[in-house]
Amino acid sequence: MWLVVGILVSVVLSRRNFRNQEGVFALAARSEGATKWPRGLVYGRQVRDVLVVNRGAALLRTEFHVVDQVADLALGAEPKKLGDAAGRLLTLDDGTRLEVAVSSQDASRLDALSRPRQTLSPEGSV
């Protein structure tokens, strides 16, 4: 009994600590063309041009999405837990597309993923 209570408390505390880290924002993500948004929220953060997404009860499942392009997406039905949501269509480096809904105040974080990249020559000049 106490073991179960201890596990539940640790899951709740780990989620709270993770959400309070700087740069972490809530989002809902689905494959392009899916009809429904997932019920639960996941949490993401931007690391250069990579969207790092944490899923699961204790947020232990981590996905890395290298983003090539970001476009606005008109949301037909907004996810329930985000409130005033903004939609973005992410084109990943492997060509797949991901529909993402974030709060309108966090939309600029996703827009920053599509910044132009610089290619360096072997000599170090641009």
For the cut 60, the answer to whether the pLDDT of residue 23 exceeds it is yes
Is 102:37 a contact under the CB 8 Å cutoff? no
Highest-pLDDT range among 79-83, 91-95, 120-124? 91-95
Q: Is the pTM of this model over 0.85?
A: no
> Residue 68, exposed/middle/buried by CB under 10 A (0-12, 13-18, 19+)?
middle
Domains of the chain: 2-114 (2.30.29.30)
Q: Averaged over 60-72, what is the pLDDT? A: 86
